[in-house]
């Protein structure tokens, strides 16, 4: 089976919802893409007599990262089939019992959005394979250059969006841009300017018992956790992303000027879950993924994982959502035979992650 096109991703979700009506539900997202395509998520979980926590998983945010959609579609299909048939799951050397699969879906709802950015994926698969952004033409001022279309959706969330103010002049801000003609990392004119990121925000609001968000990307064989703007610290709550006193001081590693506050219990939980994911991956065929903060990859602002975690700081009435980003593989378009192996690796890691949330 080759990589799925955008029609096939949608069909896969619809078919799973039809095939497993007691376990899977197609979720209509409120906004179409920039090019007016309908976007769906899939909620899977067994009926329960109590409110259930949820894990939200995103894929297909960056158009050129083709395998992320397939990872989530296969995960849904595997869990649904195993639960319905009363069997376990096997991914190479990783095995999960029928009781583990059943318990996972009885305890958790998984809300999977495999294709956040359908317009970009179509463009990447048919025109420009390395295309990363969405396809919004609104901000380039009529410039016909190809790079003047689109927004990097994983810079468009409401977390330190104004990085030119938030970050130190000494910080590496090459992975963020205010230039609409930046071909890779233009953040957009303001946070949530794009319908695709507003759909993700809606999902988090729609499922207020969400405790974890995982955004599936490539590549680097890492499992990233909060924060992405600076080193972590758990000693000074005043030193946090909302405090303008620390503007122009963020984003420099190992300095004494700033580090982002995170509760010790939260960071311990994040490290545990990231390590469990990596252990699950390694158990398939020995591939080693590294758990680390997003900042230890490179400084970022406006990302999904940091936005999800930041929500409860900004509004204490919102639930605490621990944020993670998977960076699978070592290239954007592996040969399909290699991608099939990566799917097994990452899905084994995601199952291990979900089991560890207990």
Per-residue pLDDT of the chain (358 residues; tens, 9 = 90+): 599 999 999 999 999 999 999 999 999 999 999 999 999 999 999 999 999 999 999 999 999 999 999 999 999 999 999 999 999 999 999 999 999 999 999 999 999 999 999 999 999 999 999 999 999 999 998 898 989 999 999 999 999 999 999 999 999 999 999 999 999 999 999 999 999 999 999 999 999 999 999 999 999 999 999 999 999 999 999 999 999 999 999 999 999 999 999 999 999 999 999 999 999 999 999 999 999 999 999 999 999 999 999 999 999 999 999 999 999 999 999 999 999 999 999 999 999 999 999 8
Q: Which domain holds residue 152?
A: 6-356
Q: Is residue 199 part of a domain?
A: yes
Please tell me the predicted confidence (pLDDT) of residue 103: 97
Q: Is residue 297 part of a domain?
A: yes
Secondary element (H or E) of residue 216: strand 210-218
Please tell me the predicted confidence (pLDDT) of residue 144: 85
Please tell me the predicted confidence (pLDDT) of residue 146: 87
| Separation between Cα atoms, residue 279 and residue 232, nearest integer Å | 23
Q: Is residue 1 part of a domain?
A: no
Burial 143-179 (b: 16+ CB within 10 A, else e): eeeebbbbbbbbbbbbbbbebeebbbeebebebbbee
Reduced to 3 states (helix: H, G, I; strand: E, B; else coil), residue 113 is strand
Q: How many domains are there within the chain? A: 1
CATH number at residue 43: 3.40.630.10
* Sign of CA pseudo-dihedral 134, 136, 139, 143: positive
**Using an 8 Å Cβ cutoff, are 133 and 63 in contact?**
yes
| Separation between Cα atoms, residue 177 and residue 79, nearest integer Å | 39
Q: Is residue 238 part of a domain?
A: yes
Sheet holding 290-293, edge to edge: 24-28, 40-44, 108-113, 53-58, 210-218, 322-328, 222-225, 290-293
Q: Is residue 152 part of a domain?
A: yes
Q: Is residue 52 part of a domain?
A: yes
How do 222-225 and 322-328 pair as beta strands?
A: antiparallel
Beta strands in 59-174 (DSSP E): 89-91, 94-96, 108-113
Q: Is residue 241 part of a domain?
A: yes
**Tokens found for residue 74:** 């296969």
**Tokens found for residue 218:** 């490539």
Please state whether the predicted TM-score (pTM) of the whole model is above 0.95.
Answer: yes
Please tell me the predicted confidence (pLDDT) of residue 195: 98
Please tell me the predicted confidence (pLDDT) of residue 1: 57
């Amino acid at each position: 089976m080759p990589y799925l096109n955008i029609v096939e991703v949608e069909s896969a979700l619809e078919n799973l919802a039809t095939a497993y009506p007691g376990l899977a539900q197609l979720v209509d997202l409120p906004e179409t893409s920039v090019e007016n395509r309908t976007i769906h998520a899939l909620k899977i979980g067994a009926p329960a007599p109590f409110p259930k926590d949820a894990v939200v998983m995103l894929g297909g945010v960056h158009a050129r990262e083709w395998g992320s959609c397939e990872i989530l579609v296969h995960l849904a299909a595997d869990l649904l089939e195993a639960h319905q048939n009363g069997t376990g799951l096997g991914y190479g050397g990783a095995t999960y019992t029928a009781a583990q699969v059943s318990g996972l879906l009885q305890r958790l709802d998984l809300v999977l959005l495999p294709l956040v950015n359908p317009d970009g994926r179509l463009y990447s698969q048919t025109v420009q394979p390395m295309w990363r952004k969405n396809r919004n033409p609104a901000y380039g001022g009529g410039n016909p250059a190809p790079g003047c279309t689109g927004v990097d959706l994983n810079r468009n969330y409401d977390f330190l969006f104004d990085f030119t103010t938030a970050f130190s002049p000494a910080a590496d801000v090459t992975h963020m841009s205010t230039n609409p003609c930046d071909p890779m990392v233009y953040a957009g004119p303001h946070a949530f300017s794009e319908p695709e990121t507003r759909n993700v925000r809606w999902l988090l609001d729609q499922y207020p018992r969400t405790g974890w968000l995982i955004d599936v990307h490539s590549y680097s064989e890492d499992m990233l956790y909060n924060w992405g703007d600076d080193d972590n610290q758990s000693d000074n709550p005043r030193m946090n992303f909302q405090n303008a006193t620390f503007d122009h001081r963020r984003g420099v590693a190992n300095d004494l000027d700033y580090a982002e506050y995170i509760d010790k219990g939260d960071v311990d939980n994040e490290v545990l879950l990231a390590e469990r994911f990596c252990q699950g991956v390694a158990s398939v065929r020995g591939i080693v993924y590294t758990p680390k903060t997003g900042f230890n990859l490179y400084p970022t602002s406006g990302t999904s994982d940091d936005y999800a975690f930041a929500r409860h700081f900004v509004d204490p009435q919102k639930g605490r959502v621990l944020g993670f980003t998977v960076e699978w593989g070592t290239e954007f378009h592996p040969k399909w035979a290699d991608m099939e192996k990566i799917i097994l690796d990452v899905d084994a890691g995601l199952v291990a992650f979900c089991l560890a949330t207990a």
